[in-house]
Chain A
Amino acid sequence: MEGRMEGTGGLGALATIAYRNIWRNGRRTALCVVAVAIAVFFNIFMQSWIDGMMDSIEEVVRTFETGHVNVVSSGFEAEREYCPVQYPIAEGRSADELADEIEALPGVRAALPRITAYATLFDSTVKHALLWGVRPARELAINHWNLTDRDDGLVAGRFPGEGANECAIGAALARKTGLGIGDKLPLKTVSAQFSDKYWSPTIVGVFEFDYARYDEGVILVSFERLGRILGLGGATQQLFVYAEEAGRSAELRDEVARLLGPGHVVREWADNYWVAVMRQSSFLYVIVFAVFQVVASFLIVNTVLMVIHERIKEIGMMGALGMTRREIVLVFFFEALILSVIGALAGCLLGGLVTKVGSLFPIDTEVFTGGGMKDLPFSGTIFIAFSPANIARGFAFGVAVSAACTILPSLKSAFVEPVEALRR
């Protein structure tokens, strides 16, 4: 008998028996499948939503806050809050020299110098803004500034030319100040030597990055010009290093740190507070997902228990005809497994469909920030992430949890005494 079973396919035969058994009570099967499907769907949807949010945060952080690897001096790091300009990187060396050296490292796409400094605006209802000294042409070869439309974010005019007495401002800032292209923007900032610098660049462009902090409060100016005004002598306040592969950021960080020596703080983007917080909280979500999956698995557990009880005579018969206890247990376990696979498949189908459709529609983050939370690195629009990997993970997680929950109840069938059972 044992030999014949092996001959007819062993596990395959057991699975066939299990599959046929599922359809003996359609309603019960349907309820089990629905429960597992709901849990799997929920988990896939939640994960896609969280991923969408994380993608947005990570992209904003990489584009505007840190790059892949961020270099500042220790002096700047200590007073980061008010963007001090008196602590340039590798004092005495020019930004270009430094950038060339870092770009010579393997795996580096670009090392972009940037300067940020607070500015007080004159003759304006808006009192302050952030000066952002960059090289637009080089930046845009690496980054999209508007992360939603994936373009340079210009809505009118152009970006300031290298070294020119020009600036571009965010659309929200333009609206609030009532200024437009061709107007002068008188402002004051404080140089590296602590002297007041008065400046009045001409607005040549208006941009919309769909990132509230920048659209409302940033004046984009030429890196060269700002560096000159602030008395940096060709040095830079920050370096944003972009790698060929984002995954290699940690190695790159160590290499850059070695290159620059002490007195600098070199960070990779994943060290950013918000990225770290989001990553840390992901274990909480796994707990939530597990609770859902376990509650759904209770149905299958109950089903297995009931099925063993119902079919006690059959178990006796199967045993009498020579099936081993292991095979009998497997029949019930397979029955549970097939239920969870069908449920998980249904959940994946639904989850895939909903996240695919959801990923096509932008979600305005204003809905849950209400215009506050300006310091959160969020783009103004986020999308639910549609990812086959998430769906596959949801499937595997659903089946694994259900299977783990049903092992114990299936074992119950091993304790049935065939001779006793036949008499029941």
Chain B
Amino acid sequence: MSAAGARDIAAMALRNLSRHKAKTAITAVAVAVSVSLYIFMDGWLLGMNLDSRRNIVSYEIGAAKVQAAAYFEKKDELPMHESFAGWKPLAESLERAGYAVAPRFVFSGTLYSRSGSAPLVIDAVDVGLEGRVLRYPSSLEAGRFPAPGRLELAIGSMAAEKLRVGIPSRPTPEELEELAGAARDAEEEAFVRGLYGPAPEDEAAAALEARKLALKPGASEAELARLWEILSASGRMDVRISTVIDQKAEDGSGRILHVNQLIDASVVGVINSPNPKTNGNVAFMPLDSLQDEAGLMLGGKVTELLVRRSGASDAELPGRDESAAAVREALGPALPPGLEVHGWLDYVDDYIAASRGDQVSTRIMILMLFVLSFIGIANTMLMAILERTKETGMLRALGMTDGQVVAAYMIEAACIGAMGSLAGIAIGCLINVPMVAHGLDYSAMAEQIGGDYGYRITALFRSAWNPPVIVLSGIVATALSAAAALLPSLRALRMPVTESLRFE
């Protein structure tokens, strides 16, 4: 077929489109709805997952963990007796290979504050090394990160609020009285009261119900530090950790020995990072403060080493050089038997399940919608071709080849698809703009569930731009539309030309 011939056929197809404008428009709208919804849902899922993954790696796990095989098996139960000693040589050989390493001893216990108690997971961390792998130590809402060697805690913001430690940002009038009562003299009391005012206007409705006050937004760091000091002096930050130390018996019988332990500590900081897992019922303590009888009798043992390539960018997910296999290889013979390396994805079953569930259900939904749209195009083309049986016969009688006839119909269908796709892409992008910029606020749900809903996003679920999918969805919709014309046009060609001409 010559270029001129192809142009003529395309022109004919375009002219045919305008024969029933309403029909063409409705069919195209159906395609546009599918394409725009697909673009929106894909961007939404991508945004949630990208943010979640980044937050898991940067705030929760790093790229990989070194743990005892026996610990990994029961990791949900936090089996602290499956800890291991001698982590320093491992860390050194990993650091030589260009990795940043942070040791941890994870245990659970009950935290008693002056006003209540709550079960908590406590991560004992090496204060100096932690910040090289994870970013949460600098995500402090108030106070500071614990200092090495001291029995100090930084606790998640949701736990702090429940246990009434730290600086409340939205106290009730009764709570403010409690805060003011912490002051040692009249000047301090005036200072404390001066930091709080009525809740801002836009939250008036929520505030009205609970009559809440709010911390003044202009409070300087020095003022907050002073408030913290006043509250701390009143004993508000003093807590007690009640836990049981589990150790394997030295005799090799596998028996677990229990020592009931109470640890007095004080809260020095409140963590509020973009990953809700660090803000729930979690506390962080210096590892070196728990080594002896006053702590957990650790004697240098840790439950895990967190590994990340040193200097890795927060925006990037771990590459191949940070995979469990790469870390294992870097350790080589230094990795003692009984220890294993696992990649970060092995630790986030809850996120993976939530994400996969959403991915599958959403994609099935959109797929159904696509099917509906293409039944629409198929119907439109079926009718158009049937209607023009006589014309088709005439075109063939005048010498148009079967290929040219099929091409004409397919181009016509593709044009409907393309119009719908273009409109769909435009609408999808328009929906995406506010979704990427602002997102949807899920903070109420995050609070209800203690940040435990799979996704690692604290409040705003934002969409992300996914240009390949945006372009591809348009191309696929157009191609599928063209394909919808294939069967009916082939069927029309099966009719002998003479029959077609007589067709009524």
Q: What residues of chain A have their CB less than 8 Å away from a CB belonging to chain B? A: 25, 27-28, 31-32, 34-35, 38-39, 42, 79, 81-82, 84, 118, 120-128, 176, 188, 190, 273-274, 277, 288, 291-292, 295-296, 298-299, 301-303, 305-306, 309-310, 366-376, 409
Contact = CB atoms under 8 A, between A and B. Distances in A.
Chain B binding surface, main DSSP class: helix
A364 B431 CA distance: 35
Top 7 nearest A-B pairs (CB, nearest first) are A372-B350, A370-B353, A368-B357, A82-B116, A370-B349, A123-B258, A370-B350
Contacts of A292: 368-369, 372
A329 B22 CA distance: 18
B33 interface: yes
Interface in B49-87: 76-77, 79-81
B372 A127 contact: no
A262 to B, nearest CB: 16
12 contacts: A25-B383, A25-B386, A38-B372, A120-B109, A125-B81, A306-B23, A367-B357, A371-B350, A372-B353, A372-B454, A375-B450, A376-B449
A375 B449 contact: yes
A310 B19 CA distance: 13
B383 A370 contact: no
B163 to A, nearest CB: 7
B376 A82 contact: no
Nearest to A374: B452
A123 B351 CA distance: 32
A224 B350 CA distance: 38
Given A27-B382, A81-B116, 18 more contacts: A31-B378, A38-B372, A79-B116, A82-B163, A127-B119, A190-B112, A190-B117, A277-B445, A291-B369, A298-B26, A298-B29, A370-B351, A370-B352, A370-B454, A373-B354, A373-B454, A374-B452, A375-B449
A50 to B, nearest CB: 11
B110 A118 contact: yes
Interface residues of B, number: 64
A124 B258 contact: yes
B220 interface: no
Contacts of B176: none
Interface string B107-126: 11110100111110000000
Interface in B217-249: 242-244, 246
A370 B354 contact: yes
B494 to A, nearest CB: 15
Contacts of B109: 120, 127-128
B321 to A, nearest CB: 28
B370 to A, nearest CB: 10
Contacts of B353: 366-372
A398 to B, nearest CB: 13
Interface of B: 20, 22-23, 26-27, 29-30, 33-34, 37, 76-77, 79-81, 107-110, 112, 115-119, 162-163, 242-244, 246, 256, 258, 260, 349-354, 356-357, 365, 368-369, 371-373, 375-376, 378-380, 382-383, 386-387, 445, 448-450, 452-454
Given A292-B368, A375-B452, A118 B380 contact: no
Nearest to B352: A370
Contacts of A122: 244, 258, 260
A373 B350 contact: yes
Contacts of B351: 370, 372
Contacts of A298: 26-27, 29-30, 376
A188 B34 CA distance: 59
Nearest to A412: B22
Given A27-B382, A370-B349, A125 B118 contact: no
Contact of A302 (B371, B372, B376): B376
A176 B77 contact: yes
Given A124-B258, A306-B383, A309-B20, A81 B449 contact: no
A366 B454 CA distance: 12
Given A39-B372, A277-B445, A366-B353, A302 B34 contact: no
Nearest to B488: A27
Contact of A295 (B30, B246, B382): B30
Nearest to B80: A125
A274 B448 CA distance: 9
Contacts of B79: 125
